[in-house]
Amino acid sequence: MNGATINAKVYAGYAKAALIIGTTYLHYRPSGTSDPVSAATQMPSMMVSLNADDPKYSRPNVYGKPTWYAVADGAQLAVGDYIIGLEGTLFVAALQPLLPIFMVSCNRTINFLRPASADGVGALGYNGADDDASEQVLMSGWPASVQQGTKGEKGDAILPGDARSPWWSVLVPGVAGITLRSSDIITDDLNRRYTISSAELTDLGWRLTAMQAVT
């Protein structure tokens, strides 16, 4: 018996447990860069039970922690899949052999845009302001975890009544062919707008830091 066989048995055990303690979740497998949760990407529904990174089910989730473990048939899942059910919308962050199925809870739906850059040489004039009409859409309609960051930042004037511009931590699946980078723009379903400060592609997907635009 090898590791792959043991892992298959673990997933089969999860599937049996989910039939007893789980609830029905819709299942989606994204294809392309837009609308990852739609009729075109829907897979057969499945039974899933979630716990707050605690296989013993002995504690609840807490503020600012979007990660969960899933008890489900891992053989039916792929990294980047979405499920929607009792605990909302989540994506599969990792299916590591012999380890719990690692999930991320999503609280926002976001889009990624890239500001247009000036072409040519020589004096091109000022190009520092965002031009919404000329922004390139990289990804659209992606459920993601958008959690409050640990700091804020004041504008250059630093007036007494100024509020700090909020910073946010964003987790979203990776998409083949798309590389996010600093200065890319995020918009969300609350019509908020953010500028990406740092973008790190990990084996769990994208981990982003973004500053919210305050008008």
Write out the two tokens for 110.
């976001």
Q: What is the pTM of this model?
A: 0.87
Write out the two tokens for 206.
């994208």
DSSP structure string for 56-108: T--S---TT--EEEEES-GGG--TT-EEEETTEEEEEEE--TTSPEEEEEE-E
- State residue 3's pLDDT score: 85
* Mean pLDDT on 135-149: 96
Burial 31-61 (b: 16+ CB within 10 A, else e): eebeebbeeebeeeebbbbbbeeeeeeeeeb
Write out pLDDT tens, residues 153-162.
Answer: 555 445 555 5
Write out pLDDT tens, residues 4-39.
Answer: 899 999 999 999 999 999 999 999 999 999 999 999
| 112, 138 contact by CB (below 8 A) | yes
pLDDT, averaged across the chain = 89
Write out the two tokens for 132.
């919404």
Domains along the sequence of the chain with CATH: 3-106 (no CATH), 108-212 (2.40.10)
Write out pLDDT tens, residues 77-128.
Answer: 999 999 999 999 999 999 999 999 999 999 999 999 999 874 444 444 434 4
Write out pLDDT tens, residues 160-184.
Answer: 555 567 899 999 999 999 999 999 9
| 33, 138 contact by CB (below 8 A) | yes
